[in-house]
Amino acid sequence: MSNLRTLNWCKLDIEDKNFIIGFCQEKIAFLSFGESALADLLSFSKKYKVVLNEKNDLIYLSTKILESYFKNELKLAIEDFYFFGTDFQLNVWKTAFDIPWGKTTTYWEISKKINNPNAVRAVGSALGKNNILLLIPCHRVISKNGSINFRLGANIKTGLINQEKNKINHS
């Protein structure tokens, strides 16, 4: 009997961006977008030893999830996610999940919320390893001094933050 888990995934285009979303045991386990999405998926598969299974029948569900996200109408609970990571990373990601749409917080604030105020760099590292971009909103976390880092690029992170704020201001 194999210990390997299966990640069912699909590729789709929304809002002029290409996305890859993956599900493990019917829960969202992976989301990446942009030019690196496929490379991110392959790296994820290798790191966590998951079997990749492309399933086009996930496109409808995945489209609904992402369209709801971009309209600020997404209703997901933390239980809707399947996480691959350490206990510390899960704690950080679950805390980031609670950041309201269109708002930002700092790595330091998250470190305080997880009762580890000296772990600011570790929080940043954990957020940098987030496998469920957008839905676990690591893009809403910035440095205390306002500087912005994001593995897909600071311009992408700034764009996401501004897009969320603009949709709130025009609602």
Enzyme catalytic residues: 138
87 in Cβ contact with 120 (< 8 Å): no
Rg (CA), the chain: 16
Work out whether the CA dihedral 137, 132, 98, 63 comes out positive or negative: positive
The encoded tokens of residue 144 equal 């205390």
Taking alpha carbons only, the member of 30, 34, 77 closest to residue 55 is: 30
Strand-pair partners of 17: 14
Chain centroid, CA 85 distance in Å: 13
